Structure 1
Amino acid sequence: MADLSIVTPIEYLKGVGPQKADVLKKELQLFTIGDLLQYYPFRYIDRTAFHKIRELHAQMVGAQVVGRLISVQEVGEKRGRRLIGQFRDDTGSMELVWFQSLSWLKKSLTPGSAYIVYGKPSEFNGQISMTHPEMELFNAQEKKVGNLTMQPVYSSTEKLKKFNLDTKGIQRLQQTALETVYRSLRDPLPDYILQKHHLLAYPQALLSIHFPQNVDDLNRAIRRLKFEELFFIQLRLLRNKQLNTQKYRGHRFDKVGNKFNTFFNERLPFPLTQAQKRVIKEIRLDTNTGAQMNRLVQGDVGSGKTVVALMSMLLAIDNGYQACMMAPTEILAQQHFSGVSALLGEGICTVRLLTGSTPAKERRIIHQQLEDGTLDILIGTHALIEDKVKFKNIGFVVIDEQHRFGVEQRAKLWRKNVIPPHMLVMTATPIPRTLAMTMYGDLDISVIDELPAGRKPIKTVHFFENQRLRVFGFMRDEIAKGRQVYVVYPLIKESEKMDLLYLEAGLENLQREFPLPTYKISIVHGKMPVKDKDFEMQRFVKGETQIMVATTVIEVGVNVPNASVMVIENAERFGLSQLHQLRGRVGRGAEQSFCILMSGNKLSKEGRTRLETMVRTSDGFEIAEVDLQLRGPGDISGTQQSGVLEMKIANLASDQAILMEARNSVIEIFKEDPSLSAEKNILLAHYLNQRSPGISWDKIS
């Protein structure tokens, strides 16, 4: 037993064995004793507190009472058999009810004796009862009354329970594990960090997270373990960032030339915002260091990210390099191509579009122009990463809505030159600061937090189903002014589980209210063939239809300045970031735009919070913070592309202060000892050498 450690396979822990080990591995991914010790309770039962029967109510999660078991009686027949105990204290009485193990209970319970009872109170016809309570004989002579600690509660599953691995069973294993390896536990954090941040030692923190003596004991353990988790995430990310600058040489853009200046002085259709100027300056400084740039630019829909990307690409071209921009969909790539071509006009540089739909003849011309260097900017989709696409000298890559691309896909672009091109990653999905620091902690981050002058804020209102006629009237008024309207639905077909207005029924309703020939309606959804989808979208873009009925396929990639109304049906069913993206589809022109959130009359607490947030603010970063609180980091980041977010105990929504403390601590350490060669940092250097750095953005953004 003494030879066991945290890396010992879990089957060798006393009380586990091969069968239990197998189910622990399959159900909870617990492979070693260390994994088990990092399987933390999700809540605690405070067994230090006692209640009187008259204080009990059904809203309590659990309560502990001292009293006397007056009688025990078996009632009912066959499946309806149950045991009912009458239990009383000096304030009243309640029923204790058991449906299982009746024979054993009848033998072990002693009517007339005093007990400590713990369970979940429930109420029926004004009478309080507890089903299957925990029972412990009360001994007034003993100083210790009951289990005077915070009892841990662990998540379990039906399969685990078949092996007696319910919360009590897991609790017993934790106790055995701690008794077995406690003396051999080593602290992964150096002493000077523990002292500086007033942190518990690791063995004590583990003991206190599983078996806290009181609330203060528990809080200190939680803080220590959260700090450690966030500290090591930041250590990995900031080391990757450091390696980037040291290891990967980048093209040096040391001049601002004729193409950049001509565009800035003669073609720019509106003055740059201060935020755009700041981000362009950051990119200029980055690209003149001789190290490869990896920069994430965040900005709300309509904040002018495309102009920033274009001016950065012109900087590359002025320095003798080619540039490209990759978008996740053909619609978005086409939109970028049209936008960039319109901004540049004639004569500044050559721009081409490459997508899956590009004809073979045109492809050959593009390939030739890329290789001989006569093509300056290539815009496209995944088609850009095909092996046959070869650049003469690619120096700058822009990736739009990067979360839609896999790491390997982005790496292919990165490998298109011997010296890697500078990478500019853009997203219109605002990322909360804590999430950005954790998901993209090894990138430099720029924020465009200002909308171009003259843009009117979108007015957002929330209407219930019984106000629909008012909404139809408003849509008619806007269409009469020559404007266009989006109507977005969450589903294509009716769901049996959810009573939703769905796209097909909604379309019928709209066709009655907005009949031909006065009104024309486009319809777009994800199940349509690409050609049909593009045809319908183009009709709306050209103004041939006044209403676009769609599912969320229009969330990214449709830019119709004439569209002034966005109606979102069953808005309570959408996530906040989706609602914000959809709202950003309007407000593209000079006219006042509106977003109408339609919902049923019954709203959950979360649904109400989402809609109230949308009505209250149009600040994407504020919305993202609320979304993080409601949904958690995994959902917001889309597919969890990194073990970085699979945290055991820290929570990015609520642990911002600890994250900042941990990150600042790591920044200070690298500032003082960049190579972690000082004796006091040997533990940290060992950690980085031993661990794989999770998903690494050390080469690509």
Structure 2
Amino acid sequence: MPKRSGGVAVDLNQQPLASLRGVGPSMAEKLAARGLLTLQDLWLHLPRQYEDRTALTAIRALQPGVAAQVEGKVEAVERGFRYRPMLRVAISDEARGTLVLRFFHFRAQQVAQFAPGARVRAYGTPRPGQHGLEMVHPSYRILGEGEHALGDALDPVYPEIEGIGPANLRKLIGLALERLPDAEALELLPADARAALRLPSLREALLTLHRPPRDADVVALQTGVHPAQRRLALEELLAHQLSLRRQRIALQQQGARALRGKGRLVERLRKSLPFALTGAQERVYAQVREDLSQPKPMLRLVQGDVGSGKTVVAAMAALLAVEADKQAALMAPTELLAEQHLNNLKAWLEPLDVRVCWLAGKVTGRARAKALDEVASGEAQVVVGTHALMQEGVAFHDLALAIIDEQHRFGVHQRLALRDKGQHDAVPHQLVMTATPIPRTLAMSAYADLDVSAIDELPPGRTPVTTIALAAERRPELIERISKACAEGRQAYWVCTLIDDSDEVVAQAAQSTFEALTLALPEVRIGLVHGRQKAAEKQATMRAFKQGELGLLVATTVIEVGVDVPNASLMVIENAERLGLAQLHQLRGRVGRGSAASSCVLLYQSPLSAMARERLDTLRRTNDGFEIAEKDLQLRGPGELLGTRQTGLAAFRLADLARDADLLPRVHALADRLLQESPGVADAIVRRWVGGAARYASA
């Protein structure tokens, strides 16, 4: 494998964009705002789609929704103002087809360009309008006298950069490509790895994507499966894999406290529990205990479906830390979920004389000062809280285990801050939990720094939930059904999911639903919970529902995680079409926690989009969280599943974990090989694709 130390590739890759003709301080600032600082950044600023300017389509042959290029003579121009300024230009071609070009943003000189008789070539996506087909804001140009030549290549369309027009950006990228090093100087992947997948060199791939030839496979390019795109996706996935592996190696070199107690507290807990652990819980606890016995930090993700019993495994791990005279901390993303954990841990651990302490944002004044003292002195052996655990004023006596629940809801800086609460000569072991099962492809790539365990078995006695979808017009039938269920002593949830930028709107929707149901069901005691209530009010209502004092709970999605009411056997989810599969599955998991037959009703507004229909059909068909997670990945992509705006994985330029899943085994093998044989090349690949984000990619 060729060495990459100080060669031309490194120099050119990192050359600042100010070295390009036409890039002054103002333009450099605009480019920097998008993270574009070097020539290499511009080479990797890839087109988001392609326009086929190599052929003309007759206006009569246009298909709605199918992008095409047309050419015609301006027949009429109409400039009006109905609700906002609008310009309509009618053009016709030789076959007497007519098309309207519609513009909402235009300048006076544009209007002047469209003189009747002028020849226009336009590219856009036609759609039905008032007078036949129309294109809204097509790209276009006015043709000169005798000008007929078509483009000889597909036109790339780049992600927009504020303050830099498309033509200017294309010109800049063209200048940057002129300085592209030769294939050998640019290449970082082993030749045999590329040959095995029949992939081009990086230089060839970049030139193909920025300047696709006329005969390029347009469909392959538009769907991201062209060999040039696969070549870049392979290297990008490899870069993320390497950065996560490096994180793990660096962290494990720091060392941790080996927790090697005899497990007496764990045995006492087992005997006091009113249930036996499942085989899956036993298996995962054994893995956790083995990890904790090592003098290097545990980095383990425990995933399990709703109600599979992750918290018990976390409690047992915490007891191993307590037995070694160390502390454990459990952090949850919301106060509601954190309080649920607090109640469980107090019930399980305090009879064993283990001091459980509560630390959240609402703990103030003397109570906060007392809690901080207990945490700092070590009197608090297990500390439960929200992100308040990571604030500067919180000092642990000797934190040996950090348990993070629903970790994808935390920003990476927050998770790093909790990790830094350990002693200077050791970092805490990390146990990460999620009730959102993670598709295998996502686990292989996004969690390459973690060992992954699955609690894939539900406790005995849990009944599968029957799921049905109902149009909103059938609400009266549903209200009648709730009345009967409550009369028979069972309980129900009614979840309002109206999504808006403001929490207030969701609260209003829940409030009005609460008022309507109170009128419709005078014989049922109904409670209301939403995010704008004070924590004490929320908690009091939840407690009343849990104790059976309320028959129906109207709530927003604040009850998505952490609420356990075995007697609740009916869940109604309003506007279910607005939510993702994982969130719907989480909400459904609030019922079916007892022995009674349980149902989940997905109330939707017609008409349903194709994706919404597919989501609801999937939920009706299966209760398997792992299958649902795979489907969610297909439908929504990895970004939303991981909350990747916060993880460092949001910035995939080209790779797609669902589409490129078949590359992952190759990526794993390549990562192993490079870390062992060519660590310098591994570093260069990470710098090229991940850059400074590498530090936070796995926090």
TM-score (norm 1): 0.83
Confirm or deny that 1:353 pairs with 2:353: no
8 A Cα contact 2:333 2:387, kept in partner: yes
Larger radius of gyration: 1
Q: Residues 684, 96 of structure 1: CA spacing in aligned structure 2 closer, same or farther, 3 A cutoff?
A: same
8 A Cα contact 2:638 2:658, kept in partner: yes
Confirm or deny that 1:683 pairs with 2:681: yes
Confirm or deny that 1:248 pairs with 2:249: no
Query: What are the superposed Cα offsets for residues 187-231 of structure 1, whole Å, 9 maximum, x if unpaired?
Result: 233445434443321211111001112335951211111111111
Give the whole-Å Cα distance in 1 for the aligned partners of 2:502 and 2:340. Answer: 33
Give the whole-Å Cα distance in 1 for the aligned partners of 2:250 and 2:19. Answer: 40
Q: Secondary structure at the match of 1:564?
A: strand
Give the whole-Å Cα distance in 1 for the aligned partners of 2:607 and 2:524. Answer: 32
Q: Residues 320, 212 of structure 1: CA spacing in aligned structure 2 closer, same or farther, 3 A cutoff?
A: same
State which of 440, 448, 466 in structure 2 corresponds to 1:441: 448
Partner of 1:174: 173
Q: Residues 12, 475 of structure 1: CA spacing in aligned structure 2 closer, same or farther, 3 A cutoff?
A: same
Q: Residues 134, 259 of structure 1: CA spacing in aligned structure 2 closer, same or farther, 3 A cutoff?
A: same
Alignment of 1:310-459 (within 5 A): 310-343=315-348, 346=351, 348-356=352-360, 376-382=381-387, 384-385=389-390, 393-410=398-415, 411-412=417-418, 414-417=420-423, 418-459=425-466
Query: What are the superposed Cα offsets for residues 453-494 of structure 1, whole Å, 9 maximum, x if unpaired?
Result: 221011111111121121111111211121111111124999
The one-letter code matched in structure 1 to 2:357 is L
State which of 150, 156, 162 in structure 2 corresponds to 1:152: 156
Query: What are the superposed Cα offsets for residues 356-387 of structure 1, whole Å, 9 maximum, x if unpaired?
Result: 46687777776676677665434344454466
Give the whole-Å Cα distance in 1 for the aligned partners of 2:37 and 2:640. Answer: 26
* RMSD (Å), alpha carbons: 4.0
Q: Residues 505, 364 of structure 1: CA spacing in aligned structure 2 closer, same or farther, 3 A cutoff?
A: closer
Give the whole-Å Cα distance in 2 for the aligned partners of 1:609 and 1:95. Answer: 35
8 A Cα contact 2:121 2:142, kept in partner: yes
The one-letter code matched in structure 1 to 2:489 is G
Confirm or deny that 1:540 pairs with 2:538: no
Q: Residues 594, 73 of structure 1: CA spacing in aligned structure 2 closer, same or farther, 3 A cutoff?
A: closer
Cα shift at 1:7: 3.3
Partner of 2:204: 204
Give the whole-Å Cα distance in 1 for the aligned partners of 2:469 and 2:87. Answer: 52
Q: Residues 383, 686 of structure 1: CA spacing in aligned structure 2 closer, same or farther, 3 A cutoff?
A: closer
Give the whole-Å Cα distance in 1 for the aligned partners of 2:453 and 2:503. Answer: 45
Cα shift at 1:511: 1.1
Query: What are the superposed Cα offsets for residues 551-598 of structure 1, whole Å, 9 maximum, x if unpaired?
Result: 122222322222111111111122222222211222222212221111
Q: Residues 303, 125 of structure 1: CA spacing in aligned structure 2 closer, same or farther, 3 A cutoff?
A: closer
The one-letter code matched in structure 2 to 1:474 is R
Confirm or deny that 1:598 pairs with 2:596: no
Give the whole-Å Cα distance in 1 for the aligned partners of 2:242 and 2:159. Answer: 30
Q: Which runs of 5+ in 2 are unaligned?
A: 1-7, 104-108
Give the whole-Å Cα distance in 1 for the aligned partners of 2:555 and 2:460. Answer: 30
Q: Secondary structure at the match of 1:238?
A: helix
Confirm or deny that 1:292 pairs with 2:292: no
Partner of 2:513: 506
Query: What are the superposed Cα offsets for residues 656-688 of structure 1, whole Å, 9 maximum, x if unpaired?
Result: 122332123213443x43xx4xxxx54324556
Q: Residues 590, 123 of structure 1: CA spacing in aligned structure 2 closer, same or farther, 3 A cutoff?
A: closer
Cα shift at 1:624: 2.4
Q: Secondary structure at the match of 2:479?
A: helix
Percentage identity across paired residues of the two chains: 37
8 A Cα contact 2:496 2:509, kept in partner: yes
Give the whole-Å Cα distance in 1 for the aligned partners of 2:663 and 2:657. Answer: 9
Alignment of 1:58-97 (within 5 A): 58-63=64-69, 86-88=92-94, 93-94=97-98
Cα shift at 1:529: 1.7
The one-letter code matched in structure 2 to 1:400 is D
Partner of 2:245: 238
Moved more, 395-404 or 36-45: 395-404
Give the whole-Å Cα distance in 2 for the aligned partners of 1:492 and 1:684. Answer: 43
TM-score (norm 2): 0.83
The one-letter code matched in structure 2 to 1:683 is V
Q: Secondary structure at the match of 1:644?
A: coil
Confirm or deny that 1:648 pairs with 2:646: no
Give the whole-Å Cα distance in 2 for the aligned partners of 1:500 and 1:400. Answer: 26
Partner of 2:287: 282
Partner of 1:45: 51
8 A Cα contact 1:186 1:203, kept in partner: yes
8 A Cα contact 1:501 1:570, kept in partner: no
The one-letter code matched in structure 2 to 1:175 is G
Q: Residues 206, 409 of structure 1: CA spacing in aligned structure 2 closer, same or farther, 3 A cutoff?
A: closer
Q: Secondary structure at the match of 1:323?
A: strand
The one-letter code matched in structure 2 to 1:569 is E
The one-letter code matched in structure 2 to 1:189 is L
Q: Residues 179, 510 of structure 1: CA spacing in aligned structure 2 closer, same or farther, 3 A cutoff?
A: same
8 A Cα contact 2:411 2:647, kept in partner: no
Cα shift at 1:242: 2.4
The one-letter code matched in structure 1 to 2:239 is F
Q: Secondary structure at the match of 1:581?
A: helix
Query: What are the superposed Cα offsets for residues 74-116 of structure 1, whole Å, 9 maximum, x if unpaired?
Result: 6668999987654225xx6556869975766769968xxxx99
The one-letter code matched in structure 1 to 2:210 is H
8 A Cα contact 1:333 1:379, kept in partner: yes
Q: Which runs of 5+ in 1 are unaligned?
A: none
Q: Secondary structure at the match of 1:399?
A: strand
Moved more, 453-462 or 411-420: 411-420
Give the whole-Å Cα distance in 1 for the aligned partners of 2:309 and 2:64. Answer: 54
Q: Residues 471, 103 of structure 1: CA spacing in aligned structure 2 closer, same or farther, 3 A cutoff?
A: closer
Give the whole-Å Cα distance in 2 for the aligned partners of 1:644 and 1:18. Answer: 30
Q: Secondary structure at the match of 2:596?
A: coil
The one-letter code matched in structure 2 to 1:88 is E
Query: What are the superposed Cα offsets for residues 259-311 of structure 1, whole Å, 9 maximum, x if unpaired?
Result: 223333x2343332222122112112212332111111111210100111122
Confirm or deny that 1:483 pairs with 2:478: no
Give the whole-Å Cα distance in 2 for the aligned partners of 1:323 and 1:509. Answer: 46
8 A Cα contact 2:560 2:586, kept in partner: yes
8 A Cα contact 1:354 1:384, kept in partner: no
Query: What are the superposed Cα offsets for residues 29-54 of structure 1, whole Å, 9 maximum, x if unpaired?
Result: 43333322222111123345565555
Q: Residues 135, 119 of structure 1: CA spacing in aligned structure 2 closer, same or farther, 3 A cutoff?
A: farther
Moved more, 177-186 or 251-260: 177-186
Q: Residues 148, 607 of structure 1: CA spacing in aligned structure 2 closer, same or farther, 3 A cutoff?
A: same
Q: Residues 388, 29 of structure 1: CA spacing in aligned structure 2 closer, same or farther, 3 A cutoff?
A: closer
Q: Secondary structure at the match of 1:398?
A: strand
8 A Cα contact 2:304 2:454, kept in partner: yes
Give the whole-Å Cα distance in 1 for the aligned partners of 2:402 and 2:132. Answer: 70
The one-letter code matched in structure 2 to 1:206 is L
8 A Cα contact 1:118 1:134, kept in partner: no
Partner of 1:262: 268
Moved more, 43-52 or 224-233: 43-52
8 A Cα contact 2:496 2:506, kept in partner: no
Q: Secondary structure at the match of 2:93?
A: strand
8 A Cα contact 1:577 1:627, kept in partner: yes
Q: Residues 512, 179 of structure 1: CA spacing in aligned structure 2 closer, same or farther, 3 A cutoff?
A: same
Q: Residues 320, 6 of structure 1: CA spacing in aligned structure 2 closer, same or farther, 3 A cutoff?
A: closer
Q: Secondary structure at the match of 1:461?
A: strand
